[in-house]
Structures are given as structure tokens and as C-alpha cells.
Amino acid sequence: MILSIESSCDDSSLALTSIDDATLIYHIKLSQDEEHSTYGGIVPEIASRLHAQRLPEILKKLKVFLNNDLSAIKAIAVTTRPGLSVTLIEGLMMAKALCLGLQVPLICVNHLKGHIYSLCIRNATSDSQSTLSKPLSLPQPLGILLVSGGHTQILQMHNFNTISLVAQSLDDSFGESFDKVAKYLGLGYPGGPLIESYAKEFIQNYPHITSHSFPVPLLHNQKLQFSFSGLKNAVRLAIEALSQPLSPKDLGSICAGFQQSACEHIVRKVRLYFQNPQTQDLADFAIVGGASANTYLRTALSELCAEYKKQLHLAELAFCADNAAMIGAVAIEHYKRQDFTPIDEAQISPKSLPSDFL
């Protein structure tokens, strides 16, 4: 089995994945949402200190699970990029120590590739039969929308080592814009699930009232690119123009209107991607990343996929946000290729390497 470590942002997580059949044997994750919530975003120094405390705590639990016998671990995998330097380093230090202690090789994993491989996590830790039927490998070529706190990208995967970047955000990411709007509204962190639930409540409580309306970003721009900072600022101005504190109805209306414009922007750009002559033969499309948990976005994109006859692939909701199980799923592919990094050469990087995405 492979022990994988994730600490690129605010989740400390470890997993064990079987090398034989890629099933997830064990998974543990401690999030730091509460600690960062009062700041309305992640404070890197706090995140780093919490990883330093929590990674050893969860390693202890993993050892108990294995009855203190780590001999079945054949490699250690760790996220080394992209992410926050001060948190990535905590995971890498633990990985190096484990490699030296167990005399096993090190696998350095790109976190974004991890999100892509969240699609094939075969979860033997749950009762869910459906996850055990997950594919051992991904359909290829595969179009991918990656929506997280740090990235909004369309990627096209041709094979394990060839993933091209088709489109990205010019400024903020999709998830980040939810976090910022939640901060303006004083809702806490992470903003995505909070905004989504206030929007849902508004739509349920006021089915006949239209929500606040915000411009859809880059509406008349035919380029494959994203932008969220203009929308974010339009929402900020709308909040400032309302009488404070906001009524529950205004709060819900802002959340619903913002979510609608942000998702409409994504759907329009994915439609452009599907209309591209080079993409017309593409049969498979996936949405991954923490923000792919958004139901409104999932529904809108599944309708679009049905229209363009694309098979839509989604990760299990529990594995959309950062986790070590997805790092284990990528690590299996690296292991098959004997793609190891010498311990003294392994480094963290806040950005992806030029060779990661073409």
C-alpha cells in the first residue's frame, strides 16, 4: 500500500491506498475551517502551525489502524505543489522522515492532478458499492473543469503525463470569489457551502421573487478565459448600497444572484469549449475541485453535458475538497511507472512545474 499526505492548504490528511487494486483502505482528514473562519480566509502561519500539530496526531491514528505494523507501506506520496509553501513543507518533512524510517521511495504529487484523480477513488472504507465500481483509470481524452479555492481552469487530459491547460482565470478563482463574498457578508469561511445554502433557502422561501441581478463576467468575450474579480466587486457595491444589517431576504437574494452569475459564466465558457471544432469529438467531461460540490453548478453543467452528449464524471462529494485519498490515487499511477523522487532532491513549489501542464 501507499501512504499519502496532503497539506497544501488548510486540510491535514493521510490515506492508505492499495497498490494491487487501487482501493482506498484508510482515510483521515482534519480541516481547519473553524480556526480560519473569523479571518474570512486562510492565514498561512496559522495553517502551518496546525499542520505541524495535526499531521503527527493523525499519523498516530493511522498507526493504530495498522496495529503499529508499517511494513506493508511500499511508498510515501506527498503533495509538493501547488499550494502554500509554509503548509506544503510540513507534509514534505513528514514524508521524508517516513521514507527514511521505512526505507521506501518518495512520490511527489501535483495537487491539481490529485483533484483529477479524485474521480477514481475506490472507497473500500464506506459501504458505498458505487465507489468500488469506479474506474481504475480515467477515460481519455478527458475534458476537465477544475474549480477550487486557488484555481479555475479547463484542462484536457490526453494521458497521465500529458495534460494541457485550455483556459484559466485572469484573476480570482471561482471558489475564492465565494469566499470573498461570504467575507463581505460576514458569513465566515469557507464561503462556498455557506453561500450555496443561503441561496437555496432564498429560492425555497421566495420562489416568486427574482434575486439580485449581477452582470455575467466576460459576457461578450469569445475567448476561453474566466474572471471573477469584477463580479465580486459588483456584489460588494450592492451589499454596501443596502441598509445594514442586511435582512435575511436581502442576504439570501445577494447569495442567489451572485451564485447564478458565477455559474452562468462557467457554463457559457464550457459551452464555448464544447463548440470548439477540436473538442467536438470529446466524449467525456469531468468537474473536479472543492467547488465542484456546488449543486447549482453540477446541475447546470450536467444539463449542458446532456445537450452536447458528453458523459459527465463527478467525484464523490466527500472527495471534492482537499484530501489525501486523491493524492493516493495519483500516487498509484506514479508507482506503476516507478516515478520516484530522491529524498534530497524533493522540493516544494507554490506553483505547478512547467512540465505538469502543457
CA distance 52 to 49: 5
Q: Which is nearer to ligand KG4, 175 or 252 (CB)?
A: 175
**Pairing, β 284-288 against β 311-314:** parallel
Q: Which is nearer to ligand KG4, 104 or 235 (CB)?
A: 235
84: Cα separation from own chain's centroid: 14
Taking the complex as a whole, the smallest distance from the CB of residue 294 to ligand KG4 amounts, in Å, to: 3
φ and ψ of 143, to 5 deg: -85, 140
322: contact with Zn ion by CB under 5 A: yes
257: contact with ligand KG4 by CB under 6 A: no
CA distance 281 to 304: 15
Three-class SS of residue 15? strand
Which of 141, 132, 155 minimizes the C-alpha distance to 358? Answer: 155
Joined together, the cell numbers standing for residue 193 give 457551502
Q: Which is nearer to ligand KG4, 143 or 190 (CB)?
A: 190
Per-residue binding letters, 23-62, with Zn ion (x by CB under 5 A): ----------------------------------------
Looking at residues 172 to 191 of the shown chain, list those that interact with ligand KG4 (rule: CB under 6 A): 175-176, 178-179, 190-191
Taking the complex as a whole, the smallest distance from the CB of residue 175 to ligand KG4 amounts, in Å, to: 3
Q: Work out what residue 177 binds among Zn ion, ligand KG4, none; the CB cut-off runs from 5 to 8 Å by kind.
A: none
**190: preceding bond cis by omega (within 30 degrees):** yes
Taking the complex as a whole, the smallest distance from the CB of residue 321 to Zn ion amounts, in Å, to: 7
Q: Which is nearer to ligand KG4, 141 or 193 (CB)?
A: 193
Looking at residues 92 to 151 of the shown chain, list those that interact with ligand KG4 (rule: CB under 6 A): 148-150
Looking at residues 271 to 310 of the shown chain, list those that interact with ligand KG4 (rule: CB under 6 A): 289-291, 293-294
Taking the complex as a whole, the smallest distance from the CB of residue 280 to ligand KG4 amounts, in Å, to: 29
- One-letter amino acid at 180 equals K
Instruction: Number of residues interacting with ligand KG4: please give it, by CB under 6 A.
Output: 20
263 with 297: CB under 8 angstroms? yes
251: Cα separation from own chain's centroid: 26
φ and ψ of 159, to 5 deg: -160, 180
Among 7, 23, 148, 177, binds Zn ion (CB under 5 A): 148
234 with 214: CB under 8 angstroms? yes
80 with 107: CB under 8 angstroms? no
Residue ranges in contact with ligand KG4 by CB under 6 A: 9, 148-150, 175-176, 178-179, 190-193, 196, 289-291, 293-294, 321-322
Residue ranges in contact with Zn ion by CB under 5 A: 148, 322
